[in-house]
Each structure stands twice: as structure tokens, then as C-alpha cells.
Amino acid sequence: MGERARHLMPPAGGPRSSARRLMRGGLALLTAVVVATTGFGWWTLHGMLSGITVSQALGADAPHSTGTAVNILLIGLDSRKDQNGDDLPQNVLDQLHAGDSDSGGYNTNTLILVHLAEDGSVEAFSIPRDDYVSVKGIVPGYSHIKIKEAYGLTKADEEQKLVDDGETDQATLEKQGREAGRKATLAVVRSLTGVPIDYFAEVNLAGFYDVAESLGGVEVCLNHAVHDDYSGADFPAGRQTLDAQQALAFVRQRHGLDNGDLDRTHRQQAFLIAVIRQLQDSGSFSDVGKLNSLMGVARKDLVLSSGWDQSLFQRIGGLSGEQVHYQTLPVIRYDVVNGQDVNIVDPEAIRSLVTTTFADPSAAATPAPVPASEVTVDVVNASGVRGLATEASDILTHKGYREGDLSLGAAGETTATAVEYGVGGEPSAQAVASVLDIGTPPQPAADLTAGHVRVVLGDGYSLPTAVASMATAPSGGEALGIDVGSSDDPAPDQGLPISGSGIPCVN
């Protein structure tokens, strides 16, 4: 095991920025369970949830799941600000051991993609925050970043554009900046996983301590005794009940753990399972006073996408622990890129894993990409860069694709980079997008026939780095311009799936 796996250095924003990840990501699902199981019905939903912020970031034209299955993205936002961009009170920061209001930023330190299947089962994938992913066409000015950075970088870019246009109201800047950050995060997760997102819930830092404290202790289980001065974790092996401050240390520790951040992700999963189980088993939130207190936290710190309704809350509230399974997306290895510790991942393998896991067993199998030799790719150069279509086409033909028509975009028009496909061609289009490092999801085009893909190289597009080595890079490596198989260290252990039944023991 490489040294970094055991002693991961703190990310930008300081080590304390990760202490609240679980609850920030889990409060949304927790709140849904609470509301669904209280029995207050429609009045509760429309009365008590009326003050929660609703986001339109998904957009009416976003791709959605078919049938009754739904995908929900839980976002844990690392922010010491309220919804208007104002600093949190210092006494709150002191309780959270979170540093001052200038610490952290707007990283999404928790991303959990939850799939509610038609048969009632639930599959959830934690997305490690340091996964190094392609964001071309999604995050302005960047080709690759850690996935946690998509929100904050896009927010800052949007706010700067508004300021340049004369906007001075802080609340407006904060609101529109965050909406842009949410849109970028959703787009990057869709691109990485290859599946649609139907709903999302976002929770910021401020809600953690109050919610953890309101639970009155949460039971967890450790495989080994741990002592870590850095996080304050000092626990024996076995099952034990943690108070709110101990819970901070439990979900925060990564030093002294074999897989660092990945082991901490397992703790997030285990803690979330325990919290939801406690709520469902105890019925403690049938008390109106306690429910009002929790909903007060939700109104302040929770953001829901539009479309959450009573049926969705009831569906979540009716889940049993045995139906829920948590996994962590695989990481090929740790690396350092531009001075930053990152996780190298294989996007094609991740999309295959998620698509297969989320597939409805009773539905027709998802079509696999047809052989490259049976796909014709047209390339439109709308970038203004001479010869770019020819170079891109050469890369694709080297990968075995048929060369199609090469053309120029309309002069003087600004065109976005895109990949389009004909009937049944989405898997092939996604494969083409991966080769050319295009992060935006492919879209169907009525004028394309089966077996045809069209690539539009828009303003600002550039070819993937390390083009010369792409012909020999392992599958998925070309999307990063990095040889994904170049390390002697074994792949980090993302762990086995964790079931929601019982209290899972973790490292």
C-alpha cells in the first residue's frame, strides 16, 4: 500500500472541512424519512416543508429515469455561509470545530447517488470527493478537476460574470452563483456515472451539529480500536453509542486508516444507516415539538430540487434497512496532478458499474456499444481552430471508428461542444465522448441514422492531453491524459457493499 493511502494530506480548506460530511449529505434523506413516517400526510408536506429552499437547477429538459425507478443525488456542501452568503455565527463554528467563516469554501465533500428501484430495493454509490474527472464544457476554464470542486469553481465564475454586468446585491449573487454550481455538479455526476438524476437534495455545514445532537446518540461499530489526535477519534473496538461531538470525530477520521478517505466514506455510509434505522425504529419524531425543531434546521440549511412530493417522501419513508445497499465508486490509484492529491478513476468502468447496478432486472438489457468499426463519426469544427476536426477524426479512426464527414461550423456563431447520436446510439456516443474528453452528456439527433455519431467541437474545445500516447493507454485512461495503469501500488480498496440491515462494522 502506498504511503498516501495511510497518511493522506488534508485538502485545501483544512482537515476540519470534512468533519461534517455524513450529516450534510444524509440530512436530506433523514428529513425525508422523518416527514414520511410521522403520519401528518399532505398537511405536513405542504405546511412544514413550505419554507425549504427549492432549486430549479435540474431544469425541465434534464434527462430522467424511465418507469418508476428514480435516482437522487445527495450533496453535502462544505460552506460556512448561510443561503444568503452571510457568515455563520462564531458560536456555531466553535461547536463544529470548523475554523472561521473564511475556511472551507463551496466544495461538495459528500456526493451520494441513490437509486430507488422499481422493486423497492435501494442501491447507493458514494462518489469520492477527490476523483479526478473531465469537466470540459461544464466548468468554464477547466478541463479536469477534483469532482468536489465543480460547485465552487462554477459558482465563482457565475458571480464574476454577474458582477461584470453590474450586479451588486449579495443575495442575488449568492443565489444565482449557487444555482450555477448545482447545475455543474449535476452535469459532472451525470457524465461520470452515465445515468440521469431525477431529484437532488443539498445540505450545508450548519445543520450538522443540531441534527446530530437531536438524535441523542447514534450506535456504530468499529472493527478495531482507534486513537487519532488529529480528529479526536478515541474509540474501542465493537459496538458503541456516540454523542454529537464523538460523531464528528468518527466521521472525520482518516489518519491511521489503511484507505484514508475511502475508509472514512465507509464510516459515512455506516453512520447514515444507523441514523435512519434509529429514526424508523424509535418513532421519536412522531413528537410534533421534535419534528418542528428538525424542520427548523431543514428550512435554514436544506435545498431540494423541484418535484419532491408526498409520494416520494412516503416511498423513502417506507424503506427497510434490508433493502438498502451502499457502495463506493472504484478508484484505480492515488496520484498527484498539478501539486494536488487526486484519485485516478476509469470513467468507462464506472459508467458500466453504475448502469449495471441500477438496471431493472425485468427490463430489456441496456444496449452495449456496438463495435467501433460499425460506427461512423462525423466531426464539425465550430471552434475556429484550423485542422481540429481532422485531428479529432484521426484520433477516432485510430480507435477503430469509421471516418465520416468533416465540416466547419457556421462562421461567426458561438457553438457549444456536443456529441449527438442516431437511434440506439447512446452507448456508442458516450464512448466517443470519452475518447475525445467531452464531459457534456450525448444527446439524440433526429437527423442522424442508426450507427451514426456526430461530434461538434465548439468554442474553447481542445484535444485531450497526451494525444500521442492515447493509442496505447488502457481503456478509460485517455479521458484523463494519464496512464491509469502506471502505478506499482495495488488499487485502493473501496470495500464491499454495506447493507442497511443491522449495524455494520467498519474500520
Domain with 12 in it: what CATH number?
A: 3.40.630.190
pLDDT of residue 4: 37
Residue 277 contacts residue 321 (beta carbons within 8 Å): yes
* Residue 484 pLDDT > 60: no
Confidence of residue 454 (pLDDT cuts 50, 70, 90): very high
Q: What is the pLDDT of residues 70-108, one digit of tens each?
A: 999 999 887 666 666 777 666 666 655 555 555 557 888
Q: Residue 401 and residue 97: Cα distance in Å, rounded? A: 54
C-beta separation of 144 from 134 below 8 A:
yes
Residues 358, 223: one domain? yes
Q: Long-range contact list for 482-488, CB < 8 A, 24+ apart?
A: 482/335, 482/337, 482/344, 484/332, 484/333, 484/344, 484/346, 485/332, 487/2, 487/332, 487/333, 487/335
Both 357 and 314 in a single domain? Answer: yes
Q: Indicate if 423 and 303 belong to the same structural domain.
A: no
User: What's the pLDDT score for residue 287?
Assistant: 58
pLDDT of residue 300: 74
- Give a yes or no: residue 223 inside a domain: yes
- Residue 478 in domain: no
User: For position 168, what pLDDT does the model report?
Assistant: 94
Choice between 404 and 16, residue whose per-residue pLDDT is larger: 404
Element (H, E) at 402: strand 402-408
- Whether residue 502 is contained in a domain is answered as yes
Range 434-453 average pLDDT: 87
Evaluate if residue 283 carries a pLDDT over 70: no
Is 487 within a domain? no
| Same domain, yes or no: 95 and 163 | yes
What mean pLDDT do residues 285-294 have? 60
Say what the pLDDT of residue 411 is.
Answer: 66
pTM score over 0.85: no
Lowest mean pLDDT among 43-47, 73-77, 192-196, 232-236: 43-47
- The mean pLDDT value for 467-491 works out to 45
Give the range among 66-70, 123-127, 136-140, 300-304 with minimum mean pLDDT.
Answer: 300-304
**Model confidence pLDDT, tens digit, residues 197-218:** 999 998 876 666 666 677 777 8
Q: For residue 481, is it within any domain?
A: no
pLDDT at 434 over 50: yes
Is 113 or 218 the better-scoring residue by pLDDT? 113
CATH number at residue 391: 3.30.70.2390
Quote the domain boundaries for residue 446: 372-472
Task: Tell me, yes or no, whether 382 and 356 share the same domain.
Answer: no
Of 68-72, 113-117, 360-364, minimum mean pLDDT range: 360-364
Instruction: Indicate if 311 and 391 belong to the same structural domain.
Output: no
Q: Are residues 458 and 389 in the same domain?
A: yes
> Do residues 231 and 312 share a domain?
yes
Q: What is the pLDDT of residue 102?
A: 56
Q: Are residues 341 and 379 in the same domain?
A: no
pLDDT at 452: 93
Total of domains in the chain: 2
CA–CA dist 131, 114 (Å, integer): 18
pLDDT at 495: 64
Question: Are 289 and 406 part of one and the same domain?
Answer: no
> Is residue 153 scored above 90 in pLDDT?
yes
Same domain as 388, residue 351: no
Which range among 18-22, 46-50, 337-341 shows the weakest confidence by mean pLDDT? 18-22
Say if residue 480's pLDDT is above 50.
Answer: no
Please check whether residue 484 lies inside any domain of the structure. no
188 has a pLDDT exceeding 90: yes
Assigned domain for 488 exists: no
Tell me, yes or no, whether 420 and 280 share the same domain.
no
Is pLDDT above 60 for 44?
no
Per-residue pLDDT at 456: 93
* Angle, helix 21-37 to helix 244-252, in steps of 10 degrees: 130
> Does residue 351 form part of some domain?
yes
C-alpha cell read off for 13:
480548506
* Average pLDDT for 255-277: 77
pLDDT interval class at 30 (50, 70, 90): low
